[in-house]
């Protein structure tokens, strides 16, 4: 790889950059990781200001929120390639969404094109201060790993503090999520998108006064203190199954036809289109480019697992599960649900009790993963008949054997982080 030019960097920053690139190259070669964290950590250890120096003078867009970050980041990167050219957008496509991953993305990118970074919710305030983004996309906030990011109201307050100082930043924010509205509310310039919010359990407490948010019809919400849903600048209508249209207050409307499924992905695409527009790409061209994305880091692919065509989906928390269960439940193909509780998943799987597994009643279901017994108890309380098979690949085989599809429909596989990756990387 040809190293990109590094004009204006100090000797210390150049050493840090060289170390980042060298360690990433070595770690990729010897297979001890994707080379996105080790090198970045080393670079930051040598020069703690490296990230800000690498981003100086660049057009930066950040994407944060509990769910949909990786997909929205990918969609926005593809949209920006419309004018920047294929391969010229720098992005952390591996999902390494903390500062070492950001350093690695910037150090490895061989162009001076725009930068689109997925950012961990907790690191957003520091990232805004360091990277001076032109655009920040705020998708949603809900409970995630219970041992790490359960205090989402506190996160919303920290977002609000950081964005108050970002005078040159356009924030693209979900008007349907009260915590996002609170977090974005201090920003100088906000485009409000009615992106929807199926999971509301983390937003009933008003972040402005600690009173109670009341949700009404048509997505309206408000608190007695006056904190309420802002009038959206952009919203999404769903004229038919699998179809969407984005409408702007100025009367424009554009079709949202994606290769990846789900209402939530159409909402992610519209958020990305509004962000692209803030960076000079017409929304219709941005949406047209996004239609070519048919998988995101293995999500929504349909490989053959244990001889069975299987659609792979990732859900990490109750809000994500609620969206995916709503996606698969109109169908009748078997559903394999997989739960692990390793560090990357969060060690505490008690969130299973918040997931609306009742939606699966009457469907062929196999529970799997290292915590399949916790899952099995939850499914029994939800009155969902199921089989339990600890090994995830074997579980897909059982689903395909017990309920063969004569219509060629794939088995639906939904797993949390490491459970998904176990099956994705199985060959």
CB of 138 to Zn ion, least distance (A): 19
Separation between Cα atoms, residue 119 and residue 70, nearest integer Å: 9
Identify which of residues 178 and 334 has a Cβ nearer to Zn ion in the complex: 178
CB of 205 to Zn ion, least distance (A): 9
Identify which of residues 210 and 401 has a Cβ nearer to Zn ion in the complex: 210
CB of 208 to Zn ion, least distance (A): 4
Separation between Cα atoms, residue 106 and residue 241, nearest integer Å: 40
CB of 153 to Zn ion, least distance (A): 12
3-state secondary structure of 305: strand
Count of C-beta atoms within a 10 Å radius of residue 393: 16
| Cβ contact 46:26 at 8 Å | no
- CB-based burial of residue 222 (10 Å sphere; 0-12 exposed, 13-18 middle, 19+ buried)? middle
CB of 180 to Zn ion, least distance (A): 15
Separation between Cα atoms, residue 401 and residue 82, nearest integer Å: 45
Identify which of residues 102 and 153 has a Cβ nearer to Zn ion in the complex: 153
Separation between Cα atoms, residue 268 and residue 316, nearest integer Å: 17
Per-residue binder mask for Zn ion (CB under 5 A), 202-231, x = binder: ----x-xx-x-----------x-x-x----
Identify which of residues 36 and 228 has a Cβ nearer to Zn ion in the complex: 228
Say if strands 308-314 and 411-415 run parallel, antiparallel, or are unpaired. Answer: parallel
CB of 179 to Zn ion, least distance (A): 12
CB of 164 to Zn ion, least distance (A): 19
The residues that bridge with 222 in the sheet, in sequence order, are: 214, 228
Chain centroid offset of residue 89 CA: 18
Identify which of residues 206 and 296 has a Cβ nearer to Zn ion in the complex: 206
The residues that bridge with 30 in the sheet, in sequence order, are: none
Identify which of residues 223 and 379 has a Cβ nearer to Zn ion in the complex: 223
**Which region, judged by CB under 5 A, interacts with Zn ion, from 170-178, 199-207, 325-333, 384-392?**
199-207
Binding residues among 224-263 for Zn ion as defined by CB under 5 A: 225, 227
| Cβ contact 339:357 at 8 Å | no
Q: What number of chain residues touch Zn ion (CB under 5 A)?
A: 7
Counting contacts by CB under 5 A, is residue 126 touching Zn ion?
Answer: no
CB of 227 to Zn ion, least distance (A): 4
Summarize the chain as % helix, strand, coil (round to 5): 40, 15, 45
Identify which of residues 209 and 344 has a Cβ nearer to Zn ion in the complex: 209
Separation between Cα atoms, residue 324 and residue 305, nearest integer Å: 20
Count of C-beta atoms within a 10 Å radius of residue 202: 24
Identify which of residues 188 and 209 has a Cβ nearer to Zn ion in the complex: 209
**Which region, judged by CB under 5 A, interacts with Zn ion, from 80-88, 201-209, 214-222, 319-327?**
201-209
Identify which of residues 204 and 297 has a Cβ nearer to Zn ion in the complex: 204
Per-residue binder mask for Zn ion (CB under 5 A), 290-329, x = binder: ----------------------------------------
| Cβ contact 283:246 at 8 Å | yes
Identify which of residues 58 and 200 has a Cβ nearer to Zn ion in the complex: 200
**Which region, judged by CB under 5 A, interacts with Zn ion, from 152-160, 198-206, 299-307, 383-391?**
198-206
Binding residues among 265-294 for Zn ion as defined by CB under 5 A: none
Binding residues among 382-401 for Zn ion as defined by CB under 5 A: none
Buried b (16+ CB within 10 A) or exposed e, 77-105: bbbbbbbbeeeebbbbbbbbbbbbbbbbb
| Cβ contact 310:398 at 8 Å | no
DSSP tag of 68 = S
CB of 212 to Zn ion, least distance (A): 8
Identify which of residues 225 and 377 has a Cβ nearer to Zn ion in the complex: 225
CB of 177 to Zn ion, least distance (A): 15
Please work out, in degrees rounded to the nearest 5, the angle formed at the alpha carbon of residue 218 by the alpha carbons of 216 and 219: 65
CB of 358 to Zn ion, least distance (A): 31
The contacts of residue 194 (CB under 8 Å, 6+ apart) are 174, 175, 176, 219, 232, 234, 235, 236
Binding site for Zn ion (CB under 5 A): 206, 208-209, 211, 223, 225, 227
């Amino acid at each position: 790889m040809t190293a990109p030019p590094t004009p204006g960097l100090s000797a210390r920053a150049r050493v840090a950059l060289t170390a980042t690139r060298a360690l990433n190259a070595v770690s990729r070669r010897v297979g001890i990781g994707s080379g996105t964290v080790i090198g970045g950590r080393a670079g930051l250890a040598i020069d703690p200001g490296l990230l800000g120096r690498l981003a100086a003078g660049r057009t930066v867009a950040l994407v944060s929120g509990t769910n949909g970050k990786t997909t929205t980041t990918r969609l926005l990167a593809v949209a920006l390639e419309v004018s920047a050219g294929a391969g010229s957008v720098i992005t952390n496509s591996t999902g390494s969404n903390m500062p070492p991953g950001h350093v690695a993305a910037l150090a490895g990118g061989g162009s001076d094109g725009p930068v689109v970074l997925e950012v961990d919710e907790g690191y957003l305030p520091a990232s805004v201060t360091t990277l001076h983004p032109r655009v920040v996309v705020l998708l949603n906030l809900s409970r995630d790993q219970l041992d790490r990011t359960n205090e989402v109201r506190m996160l919303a307050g920290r977002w609000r503090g950081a964005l108050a100082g970002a005078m040159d930043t356009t924030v693209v924010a979900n008007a349907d999520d009260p915590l996002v509205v609170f977090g974005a509310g201090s920003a100088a310039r906000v485009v409000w998108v009615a992106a929807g919010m199926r999971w509301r359990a983390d937003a009933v407490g008003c972040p402005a006064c600690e009173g109670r948010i009341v949700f009404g019809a048509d997505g309206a919400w408000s608190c007695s203190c006056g904190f309420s849903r802002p009038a959206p600048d952009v919203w999404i209508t769903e004229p038919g199954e699998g179809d969407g249209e984005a409408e702007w207050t100025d009367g424009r409307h554009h079709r949202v036809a994606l290769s990846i499924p789900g209402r939530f992905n159409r909402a992610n695409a519209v958020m990305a289109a509004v962000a692209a527009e803030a960076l000079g790409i017409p929304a219709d061209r941005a949406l047209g480019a996004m239609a070519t994305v048919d998988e995101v880091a293995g999500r929504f692919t349909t490989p053959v697992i244990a001889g069975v065509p299987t659609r792979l989906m990732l859900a990490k928390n109750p809000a994500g599960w609620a969206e995916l269960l709503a996606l698969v439940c109109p169908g009748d193909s078997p559903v394999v649900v997989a739960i692990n509780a390793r560090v990357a998943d969060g060690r505490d799987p008690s969130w299973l009790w918040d997931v609306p597994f009742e939606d699966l009643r009457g469907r062929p279901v196999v529970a799997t993963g290292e915590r399949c017994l916790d899952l099995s108890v939850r499914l029994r309380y939800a009155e969902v008949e199921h089989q339990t098979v600890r090994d995830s690949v074997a579980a897909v085989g059982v689903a395909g054997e017990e309920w063969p599809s004569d219509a060629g429909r794939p088995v639906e596989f939904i797993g949390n982080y490491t459970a998904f990756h176990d099956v994705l990387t199985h060959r």
